[in-house]
């Protein structure tokens, strides 16, 4: 028996897509049950007006609103054989849906779905001699600039294209030639001398120690991440700044990724925006906050972090700046010489773990 045949809406949809083969009955059974319940409620056939589904008790579907959640095509982060890649932006993707800023509750539900998705990912820490690869694009007054960077996991090496010159004779320097730097293992030396920065390995292991609860996790991050205090910064502004910096890390343990999504849901004013594109034009969802006046750190206007709409991988960010602040005693340049500061606009094009500098996933 076709339990949806009584609804004219379904028949109309079938006629519109009559040229497309239908999935099997076994595949559609759960969706049929959910749709039937929604249509009965919409037409007054639910009796008491309460809709029951076979979904998790924590997920409820509000009256007169249909939410369809598909299975995400998750690209798991697993380091095997020394190579891992997670490259969004498949050419087979369909066009983004219409832009939509979700309500606070819908945003929280979406971020919980993102957390539940990424915490199922597998991850293995790279070996000390492996390299973390990142290709990124930044946007400034000179237009988009794309670069590639390799960082050795134990902190003893780095490489970049286009290359940056080191000290010495620059007459023969070629920026298009891979420039590789090696040095001694400085992880303990940095710690002893009070150097704030960490190697990729040190930072990953710090993240791995964080509790999964978002409140406890953010408390630890504020205590130990050492990005610096800003006088007058609110707790919400500090948490947004911390999370933004953390997402710039190429490798983040899955439980921490999940905790960050749940922490974003707790920031007052944070909303999810669907149907958007990241700075390089890939379909994305955005998590936004808007500052109507400059924050203590100088940000103003809409701040947005972009994620892949299927895997929830970090794709980039757009951070708006407020009025330029000049040190006390420094005169402000004439208005005609001032150019609007675009803030920070970046995209992560590709990333992964490779066995040597210059290699790509």
Does residue 140 register a pLDDT over 80? Answer: yes
Instruction: Give the least confident one: 201-205, 288-292, 318-322.
Output: 318-322
Helix, strand or coil, per DSSP, at residue 260: helix
DSSP codes of every residue in 270-302: -EEEEEEE-TTS-EEEEEEEEESS--TTSEEEE
Q: Where are the domains of the chain?
A: 1-68, 131-354
Buried-exposed string 333-348: b where 16+ CB fall within 10 A, e elsewhere: eeeeeeeeeebbbbbb
Pairing of strands 283-291, 271-277: antiparallel
Taking only the tens place, the pLDDT of each residue in 81-111 is 333 444 444 444 555 568 899 999 999 999 9
Residue scoring higher pLDDT (60 or 162): 162
How confident is the model at residue 298, as a pLDDT?
87
Cβ neighbours of residue 323 closer than 8 Å, sequence gap 6 or more = 294, 300
Going by pLDDT thresholds of 50, 70 and 90, the confidence category of residue 6 is very low
Highest mean pLDDT among 146-155, 197-206, 316-325: 146-155
Alpha-carbon gap, residue 328 to 323, rounded angstroms: 15
pTM: 0.69
- pLDDT tens, residue by residue, 321-349: 866 554 444 444 444 444 455 689 999 99
Q: Judge whether residue 69 has pLDDT over 50.
A: no
Q: Does 238 score more than 80 pLDDT?
A: yes
Q: CA triplet 66, 56, 9: central angle to 5 degrees?
A: 25
What letter does residue 73 receive in the DSSP assignment?
Answer: -
53: nearest Cα among 67, 70, 43? 67
**Nearest of 122, 118, 116 to residue 56 by alpha carbon:** 116
pLDDT tier, 227 (very low <50, low <70, confident <90, very high otherwise): confident
Q: Is the dihedral of CA 138, 227, 311, 358 positive or negative?
A: positive
Q: Which of 197, 166, 195 is nearest to 179 (CA)?
A: 166
How remote is the C-alpha of 49 from its chain's centroid? 38
Tell me: the pLDDT tens digits for 154-195? 989 999 999 877 666 567 778 888 989 888 776 766 566 655
DSSP 103-152: PHHHHHHHHHHHHHHHTT----PPPTT-EEEEEEEEEETTEEEEEEEEEE
Average pLDDT of the chain?
75
Q: What is the pLDDT of residue 133?
A: 98
Residue 257: both structure tokens together: 């990724």
Query: Does residue 210 register a pLDDT over 90?
Result: yes
Rounded Cα distance, 111 and 109, in Å: 6
Indicate if the pLDDT at residue 53 is higher than 50. Answer: no
Q: Has residue 73 got a pLDDT over 90?
A: no
């Amino acid at each position: 028996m076709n339990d949806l045949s009584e609804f004219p809406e379904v028949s109309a949809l079938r006629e519109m897509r009559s040229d497309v083969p239908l999935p099997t009955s076994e595949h559609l059974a759960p969706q049929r049950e959910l749709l039937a319940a929604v249509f009965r409620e919409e037409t007054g056939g639910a009796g008491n007006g309460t809709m029951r589904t076979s979904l998790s008790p924590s997920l409820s579907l509000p009256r007169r609103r249909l939410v369809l959640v598909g299975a995400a095509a998750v690209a798991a982060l697993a380091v095997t054989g020394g190579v891992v890649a997670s490259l969004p932006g498949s050419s087979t993707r369909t066009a983004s849906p219409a832009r939509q800023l979700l309500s606070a509750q819908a945003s929280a539900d979406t971020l919980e779905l993102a957390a539940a998705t990424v915490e199922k990912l597998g991850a293995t820490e790279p070996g000390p001699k492996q390299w973390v690869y990142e290709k990124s694009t930044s946007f400034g007054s000179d237009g988009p600039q794309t670069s590639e960077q390799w960082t050795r996991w134990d902190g003893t090496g780095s490489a970049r294209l286009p290359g940056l010159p080191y000290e010495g004779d620059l007459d023969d320097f070629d920026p298009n030639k891979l420039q590789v730097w090696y040095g001694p293992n400085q992880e303990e030396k940095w710690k002893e001398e009070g150097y704030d920065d960490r190697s990729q390995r040190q930072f990953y292991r710090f993240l791995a120690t964080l509790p999964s609860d978002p409140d406890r996790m953010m408390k630890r991050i504020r205590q130990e991440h050492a990005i610096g205090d800003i006088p007058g910064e609110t707790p919400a502004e500090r948490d947004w700044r911390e999370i933004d910096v953390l997402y710039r890390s190429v490798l983040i343990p899955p439980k921490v990724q999940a905790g960050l999504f749940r922490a974003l849901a707790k920031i007052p004013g944070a909303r999810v925006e669907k149907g958007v594109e990241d700075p390089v034009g890939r379909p994305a969802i955005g998590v936004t906050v808007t500052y109507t006046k400059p924050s203590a750190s100088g940000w103003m206007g809409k701040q947005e972090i972009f994620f892949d709409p299927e895997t929830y991988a970090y794709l980039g960010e757009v951070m708006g700046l407020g009025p330029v602040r000049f040190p006390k005693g420094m005169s402000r340049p004439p208005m005609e010489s001032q150019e609007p500061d675009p803030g920070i606009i970046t995209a992560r094009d590709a990333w992964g773990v490779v066995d040597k500098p210059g290699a790509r996933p």
